[in-house]
Structure 1
């Protein structure tokens, strides 16, 4: 410990100063004040010193910069634990003999929230937020969160926070009594200092609504889909109402350690680190993106409208273009309806709503795109249509502007080659609905400059999307693997499984819906049209399953027609004998003797198909890493995150 007249340094990350008999402790571990060993050790040393000091009558803990404490130090993930542990720190804070107030100046997440609630009171600024997102990493709060929070606020509200991992803003935190006071940023420390000089308040746990608790529990269990952490979170919050605090803390620690070493937690940690890595591909290291301020979007259907809404949310000036005034008006109305829903739900305030409306220009002519820094096309997925559009844009936009194609299956190399400046052409494959889905595949063609690709990444990041780098192959990463997955599912039909059996196996694995139920929901006719276009070039030697074509020929296009892979009676999905007979007939025609498959066998065949295609993409340098493939399948195709993705599940990480 080193001292000066002004401050005391208790560790590299913990400093303090005494003002008016109050010790102001600052956690300074940039960039997010993560709870490292240095932070934990420094806090304990500070508390040792304060405990014996007559000069200090109260304590305030705050974070340096704009964050209070944003959770654990990711550098320590998977490493042996260094004492003191966080539970030891929070136990010391909670039982301390002088009043400790958390001055929450920003995000208090995970262990940061546990530190705050272990203090005797909380004063927070308007930009503060509280959350316990541990379930998203396959964990539960392990430093008293599951036991102290339900004793601080109503248990139903605590269950909602802990079981879903959602984050609360300051106003809601005050409303539910998670914090005691809201303060302006410039008065935060003063208000906390004054509070710390008062005896710690005797708190009475607020009454909770038993029915609301039961409803929240049901919702959490329903959404868990095979995940263990949400179930354990529910169990621990329930125990907080049945056991004394010391017993509850003991149970919490035991369950936390079990979950920490589980396959589920390992998978979710893999996803966490994969996302960090994917946003900074090695190929773009040291490459600066262009400064993109004005975005153009051509095509204002469902996809284009979703891209525009995302761009408006990110603060871009946006020019939306359609071929006709009528189509432009329809697209504009759809965009406004989304913005209005965001306003009504509270995702936008009135000022932001008006600002976004003003940032949008709608035009019926491409000429207005002359000022755009990047133009994304979201027009019909036809090669000639896209090439004609890009050739027209060549004559309108600056040579330095970037052109991005949103194609799903066409070859961006060929689109780029037909333009004047192929080096500025990239792919940005959004997933529908684009204002909701996180995933964007950023495609580097054989011509794309690194600056253009880096600019695509920068825009996707600003849109709060998850950009994944992909090379050029039909369907890129996601649709390429999905095609292999779908093909294997159809082979399984001929080999002996039925749609409901395959769907049940997938849902048992953790998918929200089975593959054939998803087909029916999306509609079968679009994929049918694609198969008909490809029929002339299909290799007759390759195995082909025609059952899906037969369904479409019978007018069975899915839920909207009441008939698809299933029949829908009063909206309820049911097995259809007609489909069963079609499958049986297909087996007889090919002289296939049907087998019986267990759920595990079905799961394994489908996983193997994804993994095989994933390996092929890596060998051909389409995908930069196995973890990128996992992220695409999780964020674009519903692969359960708690399984880590198909490549992780197969032990195929590079």
Structure 2
């Protein structure tokens, strides 16, 4: 038959098993194989019913995303045509859903007349997460099955529902007793249908999907959701497709859905989100680390420092069922840290995300101590102490004495030299940087900093443990600030310089949030703490790259005790949660401009955009050229998951490709020429950018 399909005839039923590991993705070859098998079964007079199932348990996780944007996506037979033909077969077709039926996989199941799932199955239409809409009948068949409002909510959320909820919604007809009996129960279901002379398709449960909704439901829904959708295209297209399901015949609705899907697929937003989908899968691949390298065992973790960061780090591990020793110098600090962790969990209980029993189970995995000797049996130790080299080196020298051989010793530094820390002890091969982002129990990003001496199995083990605790790990080499904070330096420098040249904090921030960033640079610095950033600068003056204009605004605000949100004043004034522009900051910028001999002028939004973002991009390209980042897509992941860069733009490197590398280079060269001595000093194009443009390259890659 096909290497992608297992076909057999049993008791008057054709069992069609999908066999394209790991997830039975519906590539063009897979569609051919499924359709051929179904046509064979439809034409065989001995076949009274058809069962589609996954040979290795998993039903189908959807379309082959690698085909999107290529001719293969709609090569014959297209997925919509394949599913239409399955829906027209004049015999009962049963989908036996094991593990997953997502996206095109659920659309395949919806094209069948009947559905049964194992108890642990998860079903959903998550295309929205890729800036897409279901394009093979999901927006048309689902509302006719469960109603328009339920279908709209499920598709817009991208949520995966379990088998029992799917049954209650009406997506599944039955739930099998267990995964092992799924196929047997599907066959029993088939025998029942044959015995009852059941129709190939039962009558639609909701032939008029919006019959229970007000006439103005969709217009009111759009109005209520617009502020939440912001610039996102896909939710608007989903809503239009669901509205079509309520107004058109199935055939007309499917045609409308396909047109909307193709609009979404061609959008820059979906291209960006698909770029990130593949970037996440690529990030875990380290070129010189073999996939079968034996890993170190991580059964117990220790965290040094019970402050906000240390406590958040500890929570990650106990959440994954890994015991943690939390060390502090003083009992009062330790008690505060443990209390804060419990309070964090109690908030989750109030929100219904955890039970009290689950909180107690996690707290039992957490052991507070004041004695380094209690870390002797830890497999992984992470320090989260004050960001000062001397303090961190002292901690590591103590760990060198008390920790067992082979223990991984990690620093949570956000900018310090990991190699300098490693070389201060006798086992630098065991040292690695694990830069968690605050709040560490919430933020998904983890920069894994590979030192010159870091052993391959230490790197591989930390990448694996990061996945285990639900983090997105991105490898960085050693340099000041690693990937994220090093790129933050020129981005922040230009924002500060623009204040001195005539822009206001609100104007700069509005340009950046207008692009889609979660926060502008100055509101972000007020949130982080002007004092915190000042102290970091002081601790790293010799390592960081800065100039007088970059530091002076922050230094002056610190001297005025304008620490940001915590003090009610920073780059803005704060009245409760409300942020207000502050004329005093503008006056301060004017005074500093005069002292520094900087001419002030009106600055347009395009200049703010280009200077901030082009220098951010330029630094990223330089990091790639230096080998600090393994690939451009890793940089995109860092900035989206750690710094609020909009996913709809795909990250700064992908955004540069959309703008055009030649345009980015021309912009940098323009400001290098126009800004005099300042431009000559700071607007130096990365050599890799110049080489890429000279070679006519459109994608950022090291060469």
Q: What TM-score results when the alignment is normalised by the length of structure 2?
A: 0.86
Aligned pairs for 1:232-381 (under 5 A) are 232-286=237-291, 287-342=293-348, 345=351, 347-348=353-354, 353=359, 355-381=361-387
Pick aligned residue for 1:22 from 1, 13, 20 = 13
Residue 85 (structure 1) shift: 0.9
Match of 1:193 in 2: 187
Identify which of 46, 51, 70 aligns with 2:37: 46
Classify 1:293/1:570 alpha carbon distance in 2 versus 1 (closer, same or farther; 3 Å).
closer
From the superposition, tell whether residues 625 and 545 of structure 1 become closer, same or farther in structure 2 (CA, over 3 Å): same
Q: How many angstroms apart in 1 are the aligned matches of 2:180 and 2:452?
A: 54
Taking the aligned partners of 2:583 and 2:150, their CA distance within structure 1 comes to 47
Shift in CA distance, 213/167, structure 1 to aligned 2, threshold 3 Å = farther
1:583 paired to 2:576: no
Q: d(CA) in 2 for partners of 1:103 and 1:537?
A: 60
User: What is the aligned partner in structure 2 of residue 202 from structure 1?
Assistant: 203
Query: Following the alignment from structure 2 to structure 1, what is the Cα–Cα distance between the partners of residues 516 and 463?
Result: 30
**Cα distance in 2 between the residues matched to 1:79 and 1:291:** 43
Match of 1:227 in 2: 232
Distance 1:214 1:312, change over 3 A: farther
Distance, in Å, in 1 between the alignment partners of 2:27 and 2:542 is 61
Greater shift in the superposed pair: 222-231 or 386-395: 222-231
Give the Cα–Cα distance (whole angstroms) in 2 for the partners of residues 21 and 323 of structure 1.
73
Q: What does residue 95 of structure 2 align with? A: 102
Verify the 8 A CA contact 1:429 1:440 in the aligned structure 2: yes
Shift of 1:505: 1.3
**Contact 1:12-1:38 at 8 Å conserved across structures:** no
CA distance, structure 2, for counterparts of residue 539 and residue 442 of structure 1: 22
**How far did 1:44 drift?**
1.1
1:318, CA displacement in angstroms? 2.3
Provide, for residues 101-155 of structure 1, a one-character-per-residue CA deviation record: whole Å limited to 9, x for no partner.
2111111111111112222222111111112221222211111112222222232
The C-alpha deviation readout for 1:401-444, integer Å capped at 9, x for no partner, is 11001111221111111112111111111111112111111111
Offset of 1:611 from its aligned partner? 1.4
Shift of 1:540: 9.1
Where 2:550 maps in the other structure, the secondary structure is coil
Q: Distance in 2 between matches of 1:540 and 1:392?
A: 34
Q: CA deviation at 1:321?
A: 2.0
Is the contact made by 1:156 and 1:212 (CA closer than 8 Å) also made in structure 2? no
Which 10-residue stretch deviates more, 572-581 or 443-452? 572-581
Matched, 1:86 2:61: no
- 2:48 counterpart (46, 57, 69): 57
1:349-368 CA distance string (max 9 Å, x none): 67755543443333221211
Alpha-carbon deviation of 1:534?
5.1
Report the Cα distance in structure 2 between the residues aligned to 1:175 and 1:502, rounded to whole angstroms.
50
* 1:470 corresponds to which of 476, 479, 485: 476
* Backbone CA RMSD of aligned residues: 2.6
How far off is 1:335 after superposition?
Answer: 2.6
- Return closer, same or farther for 1:66/1:517 CA change in 2, 3 Å cut-off: farther
Residue 18 of structure 1, CA deviation: 2.6
CA distance in 1, matches of 2:545, 2:5: 68
2:152 matches 1:159: yes
Separation in structure 2 between the aligned mates of residue 403 and residue 331 of structure 1, nearest angstrom:
22
Is 2:697 aligned against 1:653?
no
Q: Paired residue for 2:3, among 12, 24, 27?
A: 12
- Describe the SS at the equivalent of 2:9: strand
SS of 2:402's partner is coil
Q: In the TM superposition, what are the counterparts of 1:64-83 in structure 2 within 5 Å? A: 64-81=55-72, 82-83=75-76
Match of 2:618 in 1: 612
CA distance in 2, matches of 1:403, 1:151: 57
When structure 1 is superposed on structure 2, of 208-217 and 365-374 the one drifting more is 208-217
| SS at 2:376 equivalent | helix
- Give the 3-state SS of the residue equivalent to 2:296 in structure 1: coil
Q: Is the 1:159–1:213 contact (alpha carbons within 8 Å) kept by the matching residues of 2?
A: no
Comparing 110-119 and 70-79, the one that deviates more:
70-79
Tell me, yes or no, if the aligned pair for 2:218 and 2:243 is still in contact at 8 Å.
no
Matched residue, 1:35: 26
1:445 positional shift: 1.4
1:203 positional shift: 2.7
| Aligned 8 A contact 1:33 1:64 in 2 | no
For residues 298 and 215 of structure 1, the distance between their equivalents in structure 2, rounded to whole angstroms, comes to 52
Counterparts in 2 of 1:157 and 1:563: CA distance versus 1, 3 Å: farther
* CA distance in 2: counterparts of 1:653 and 1:488, whole angstroms: 23
Are the structure 2 counterparts of residues 239 and 410 from structure 1 closer, same or farther at C-alpha, using a change threshold of 3 Å?
A: same
Q: CA deviation at 1:643?
A: 0.9
Structure 2 counterpart SS, 1:616: helix
Instruction: Report if aligned partners of 1:225, 1:508 keep a CA contact under 8 Å in 2.
Output: no
Partner of 1:639: helix, strand, or coil?
A: coil
| C-alpha deviation, 1:20, in angstroms | 2.8
SS in 2 for 1:650: helix
Question: Does structure 2 conserve the Cα–Cα contact (< 8 Å) formed by 1:105 and 1:125?
Answer: yes
Q: Deviations over 1:494-522 (max 9, x none)?
A: 22322212221112211122222222233
Q: Give the match's secondary structure for 1:573.
A: strand
**Alignment size in residue pairs:** 645
1:609-646 C-alpha deviation (Å, 9 max, x unpaired): 11121122223221122211111111110111121111
| Contact 2:640–2:651 (Cα < 8 Å) also in 1 | yes
Structure 1 residues 225 and 481: CA distance shift in structure 2, 3 A: farther
Deviation track 1:201-258 (CA, whole Å, cap 9, x = no partner) reads: 2233276666997887567543434232222222222332232222221121112122
Q: What is the CA-CA distance between 1:94 and the residue it aligns to?
A: 2.5
Measure, in 2, the Cα distance between the counterparts of 1:514 and 1:218: 27
Report the Cα distance in structure 1 between the residues aligned to 2:77 and 2:636, rounded to whole angstroms.
36
